[in-house]
Amino acid sequence: MKIVILDAYTVDQGELSWSALEEFAEVEIYERTSPDEVITRCKGAEIVLTNKVILDATTLNMLPRLQYIGVLATGYNVVDLEVADRQNIVVTNIPAYSTESVAQMVFCHLLNIVGRVDHYARENKQGKWVSSPDFCYLDHHLFELNEKKMGIIGLGNTGMATARIASSFGIQVFAYTSKDEEELPFNIKKADMDTIFQQCDIVSLHCPLTETTRHLVNSERLSSMKPSAILINTGRGPLVDDKAVAEALKNGTIAAYGADVLTTEPATADNPLIDAPNCYLTPHIAWATQEARQRLIKICTENVRAYLDGEPVNQVN
C-alpha cells in the first residue's frame, strides 16, 4: 500500500514529522505539487493526502486504485465529492484542529488595532520616542476593550472560543447563531444580524462560506456600522466584499479592518485592501501555529488508522 502527500510544505516546513504514517504503508512526501504533476504522483497510491491541491473529476477518473482521500484541512472543496462517491472513495477532513489558534489571531488583530502596537514599534525604530520632548510618544488614540460590545457572526468552535476570550477582557458578547438562547453560555446574548452590525463596536466573522453568506459584509451593511467600529475576518475571504470594505476604510465609514483571509489567495497586487488605510492583513496564518499543525498531523494519522480498521471517522462524503 502507498500513501502520497501532495503538498506537505503547507503543514510542515521541516520541523514536524509524518513518520507515524509509515506504520501503515510506504509514504511519498512532496512539498508542493503542480496540477500537471498530480496524476503521475498519485498513480498506484491507495491513499492520497492533500491540503490545497485539487482532486477534480478528471483527476479522480484517472486514478482507479485510489480508495481514500485525506484532506489536510477543515474545508474539503478541493475534492469532487460526487465523483468520489461514485468511485467509492472515502474522503475525510480535519475538524477543529485550529480552534484556539484562530481565536487567538482574532485578538492579535484586535489588540494591534486598539493598541497600535505595530505602529508604535515602527515609530520607535525611526527615533520618534528618542526625540520626543515628553516621557511618552503618543500620536494616536488608544482604546480599552473593557465594556465594548462585540458581535460574533457564527457560533461554532472558533466563534465560541472567541467569545470566551472576549469575556475575559470584559467585552459584552452578542452572537448571531442558530442556537437557541437557552443553549448559550451566560456571557453570550443572542442578537439578529442588523442589531450586531448597527450596535457593536467590534464584529468578528466565524460563519461558513455559502451562497447566502458570500459578501455578507457589503456596502449597505458597512454603512449601518458605527464609524468607530472594527471588523475582523478570520473566517473566509469572500464573506466580505473587498472593494466595499476598502471604500468604507477610505471614507471613514468604519475605523479598521483586521483580516487573515482574502477573496483571492495568495493576495493579488490589485486587491484594493492591500493599500487601504487602517487595514491590517495577515497571510492566512491563523491556523498555522506549531501546536495546531502538530494536532492536524495527529488527527490525519488517526483518520487513516480508522479508515484502515474499517471504521472511518471525520468522513465528509
Paired residues of 61 in beta bridges: none
pLDDT at 312: 97
Enumerate residues 6+ apart whose C-beta is below 8 A from 102: 158, 161, 234, 260, 286, 287
pLDDT at 53: 97
pLDDT at 145: 98
Residue 65 catalytic? no
User: 483580516: which residue's cell?
Assistant: 259
Residue 15 catalytic? no
User: 503542480: which residue's cell?
Assistant: 34
Q: How many CB atoms lie within 10 A of CB 84?
A: 21
pLDDT at 102: 98
Residue 284 catalytic? yes
pLDDT at 153: 98
Q: Where are the domains of the chain?
A: 2-95+290-308, 99-281
pLDDT at 32: 97
Beta strands of 11-142 (E only): which ranges?
Answer: 26-29, 47-50, 68-71, 90-92
pLDDT at 134: 93
Check 236, 291, 293, 311 and give the catalytic one: 236
Segments in the chain below pLDDT 50: none
d(CA 30, CA 23): 19
Question: In the numeric block, which cell numbers belong to residue 278?
Answer: 487602517
Domain covering 99-281 assigned CATH 3.40.50.720 in the classification? yes
pLDDT at 159: 97
Q: Which CATH architecture has domain 2-95+290-308?
A: 3-Layer(aba) Sandwich (3.40)
Q: How many CB atoms lie within 10 A of CB 39?
A: 15
User: 506504520: which residue's cell?
Assistant: 23
d(CA 191, CA 294): 36
pLDDT at 115: 97
Check 214, 284, 302, 305 and give the catalytic one: 284
pLDDT at 306: 98
